[in-house]
Amino acid sequence: MGAEPFDIEAALARYRGTYPAGAEGDRQFRDSLKTSVVETTDDSVLRNRLSTEEIDDFLAYTGWNLWDLLGKRSTEGENSLIPRQEYETVAFTQQWLRFPQFYERITEAVGGAEGVVELGRTARREPANKLNNTRAWVNVCSLMGRGLLVALRQLDAHDQLHELNTAIQFQRRIQHGTYGAGPGYVTGRNYEARVLDQSWIDRFAAEVESTEGRLQECKKFNAATELFGFLMMFDTRSSTNTSGPYPLPDGNVMLVRDHFLFEDLYPWSDVASSMPYCVTQVMVFDGAAGINYRISDIGTTFVDRGDYLDHMVGFSVYAREKWNTPAADLRLLTDAEAAEITAASRGGLTALYRRISRMSRRDRIMAGVLVYTREMMAPFARGAGVWDEFVGALQFDELHRGASAAYHPLTTGDANDLLPRAFILGEAFPPVGHRPTW
């Protein structure tokens, strides 16, 4: 596309040369906004329509939030097995072109805006559910799709304002249900995603088992299940989510981490048929270790010490057998059962790698598109009871003609030019700007 080069190191140091990363960057950027749209209130999430000024503020902050979260990923090399940048960009355009209509159908199915807020509250009530703190963020990907189409000159920034309003308000309602009133992004909450109801924290704390004599096996379980889920979801972070940190009365700190293993949304999921849908790891760390835990908006743990797992003093694993197994039936596993899952994850990883390696490049791209679109819609649609309608009557997986038109430029080199600028410079979120009518 012939985009002008830019100094990546300088762009990574400060967003648009001005705003730093972290809590200070969040404070400075929110102070620069004209409205309070990045915070949610009981009233503001129920409104049908945002002003264009609010929409532009939301887009602007989301640009900083993405830079803070993922900017350095834009410099990663391509996975030799999976063409990640290509499927991401195609999926983003597909999401923008189709998701607003699905958001409207979900809103209708749950009885309106208040029902969407209640859908977001699932993250509080249920661990081992993909309606989690990560899903309070994922609409950002559809907003990136809008920006990519603008960059490809297939869309003007002031087009589809109704759809833009729909997407942002859906996201804000989910954020409000997940976190309650206040900042909708974890970056505005000091990187703390404390979403689970206290009853879960109390149960987990009561049942957690010491890591004495078993720490290495606990670490092996964490690594094996995370890596398997990562490949199952085609190099995405959809397979893992962490909430916390939760301070405990004894001064220790708890993280609750879900690894999703058997997801029947995908034709290759049969390699995980012997595994539960999700395993939930309760991880308790020594509070005296002085480790700083930060949870990102996509449920990833960042710490200031590389050896943080060595300071884990408690570890327990729970299983949710199927996606619709009642949360009350979350089952505490024995060490022997956990070891079986560790072995199954390692064997499944080998089988899955062989299967994916035999796919053509286009098939890998389209498999990634399938994951990136289904992962970011199915949890909401399942919760609303309309997923079967989406994949049936509404032909959810049918590629929009606009995404088809974007496929060639995005899979033949333009993705490599667009993504760094989208992540680092915020170009994925162009403002609507002046518009004479709403």
In the predicted model, is pLDDT for residue 389 greater than 60? yes
Whether 59 contacts 143, CB under 8 Å? yes
% residues pLDDT > 70 (the chain): 96
The Cα–Cα gap between 279 and 118 comes to 24
User: Model's pTM, two decimal places?
Assistant: 0.95
* DSSP SS3 for 438: coil
pLDDT tens, position by position, 408-435: 999 987 777 777 777 788 889 999 987 6
pLDDT tens, position by position, 41-93: 999 999 999 999 999 999 999 999 999 997 545 444 456 788 888 999 999 99
Q: How confident is the model at residue 295 (pLDDT cuts 50, 70, 90)?
A: very high
Q: How confident is the model at residue 10 (pLDDT cuts 50, 70, 90)?
A: confident
Q: Of 354, 311, 419, which Cα lies nearest the Cα of 89?
A: 419
The Cα–Cα gap between 77 and 144 comes to 20
For residue 284, how many other CB atoms are within 10 A of its CB? Answer: 24
| Residue 245: cis peptide before it, omega within 30 degrees of 0 | yes
DSSP string, 151-195: HTTSS-TTS-HHHHHHHHHHHHHHHHHHH-SEESSGGGGTT-B--
Domain extents in the chain: 8-120+138-184+361-425, 198-357
pLDDT tens, position by position, 118-135: 999 999 999 999 999 999
The Cα–Cα gap between 142 and 138 comes to 8
